[in-house]
Amino acid sequence: MGKEVQKINIKELSSAISQICDEKGIEKGRVMEIVEDALAAAYKKDYGRKGQVVKAKFDAEKQTATFFRIMEVVDESIRQMEQAEEEETEKDKKQEQDKEETLPHFNKERDIPLKEAKKIKKGASVGDELEIELEAQNSFGRVAAQNAKQVIIQKLREAERETLYEEFKNKEGEVITATVQRVENRNVFLDLGKMVGVLFPPDQVETENYRTGQRIKVYVEKVDKDAKDTSVTLSRVNPNLVIKLFSLEVPEIFSGAVKIVSIAREPGSRSKIAVKSEEEGIDPIGSCVGQKGIRVQAVIDELGGEKIDIIEHNDDYKIFISHALAPAKVKYVELDEKGNQAKVIVDADQLSLAIGKRGQNVRLAARLTGWKIDVEKESASAEATADKEGSLKEGEKGESPDSYAGADKAKEDEGEEKTDKKDEKEVKKEEKKDTKKEKKSKEPESPDEGTK
């Protein structure tokens, strides 16, 4: 039986290249290289010899394919050439053995001596590659055609992965818009356009509920590439998401006129950002808030209602820490630079506001400023001073000042006040009982005794 022959239609191949470029988003030059490699592999399979290096050049405009044999120009310095002399001295034999250990053998299929190379191309030198044109062919066996097809499919997949990797690698550290495709086992699958990304539970905000078809903005943390696929790490909890959202909404931040110096975030609940102006005459807080709060409200809506405190950065850490504890009003701040600790004094009615719900306000302020913050009320500080002066009785302990670290102590004090009130009520009840008993004792025991 004769070999089954398949003819390659160059015109169809040209149109297929254009279609692949449009669908896969791969550069035309890269697709052309893949097709040329496939044609060269098919040609070598049917018409080449073992050891040959075959190269194909495809011209999309002329719709023609040309094949070449690649030959490297060599001499005795880089290849083991055949010896013409029959007689060899012992010294020559020893040198030849050393060459055999270090130099590769001459291969007539891919190597060409320098003398012959100069006949084909004037000025040829050792190490050059010569392209010797081969007979054109456009009909190949079934096996060769299948090999060419497999080469094209495999290399197109590699090129597509490379294109995706380069595209998303450029978006690393940026915010992109994605559409929720589906939710499975708490993993949210997002449609990113050319690929599907996964938002894992640790990267999700606990208070958010994701539904199919919902459009959300996510932060691209990292892009990795392995042998099979490109993986993109996405996040909704990264603090940089807030920074990038402000950069999109506030032109002054995007241009660099206003800078976000630091940020502290508890996803889904509250964030604090410190901003400063890089140009004179620009209000950093007003720029971030916008007219009627439109700019900051757009960021809050994107974060699902997360509260945002915008604070002006100051090089004086006393002022900066006071601003960071907003909305509480601070009386004064004492700094311990060696221990990197700050003691903040507030009025008694501002203590709970400074600490915040479950210590959130002071915790975020500490992260924002980079200082360990201890909040105390002014009245407690005065009592501590009086304790030092000996105003308290011996053996009695003075009340420890209320702070974030001693927030539980404040609750205990409230409990003690309640118990004191209960004790007072019980004492009053006992007094009433005693008065009743006294009245009864004064009354006569019987009517007869009364007449006597």
pLDDT of residue 379: 61
CATH 2.40.50.140 domain position(s) in the chain: 172-235
Structure-block tokens of residue 199: 């938002």
Structure tokens at 42: 């098919």
Q: How far apart are CA 380 and CA 389, in angstroms?
A: 15
> Where exactly does CATH 3.30.1480.10 map onto the chain?
5-83+94-161
With left for phi above 0 and alpha for psi between -120 and 50, is residue 334 left, alpha or beta? Answer: beta
* Assigned fold of 316-392+399-411: GMP Synthetase; Chain A, domain 3 (3.30.300)
- For position 378, what pLDDT does the model report? 78
Regions in the chain scoring below 70 on pLDDT: 1-12, 81-101, 138, 379-452
**pTM, to two decimals:** 0.63
Question: Could you tell me which CATH class the domain 172-235 is placed in?
Answer: mainly beta
Residue range(s) occupied by CATH 3.30.300.20 in the chain: 238-313, 316-392+399-411
User: What is the predicted pLDDT for the residue at 270?
Assistant: 93
Residues 5-83+94-161, CATH architecture: 2-Layer Sandwich (3.30)
Q: Which residues pair with 281 in a beta bridge?
A: none
Class of domain 238-313: alpha beta
Chain position carrying tokens 């105003």: 391
CB-based burial, 66-79: b 16+ in 10 Å, e otherwise:
bbbbebbbbbeeeb
According to the model, what pLDDT value does residue 11 have? 62
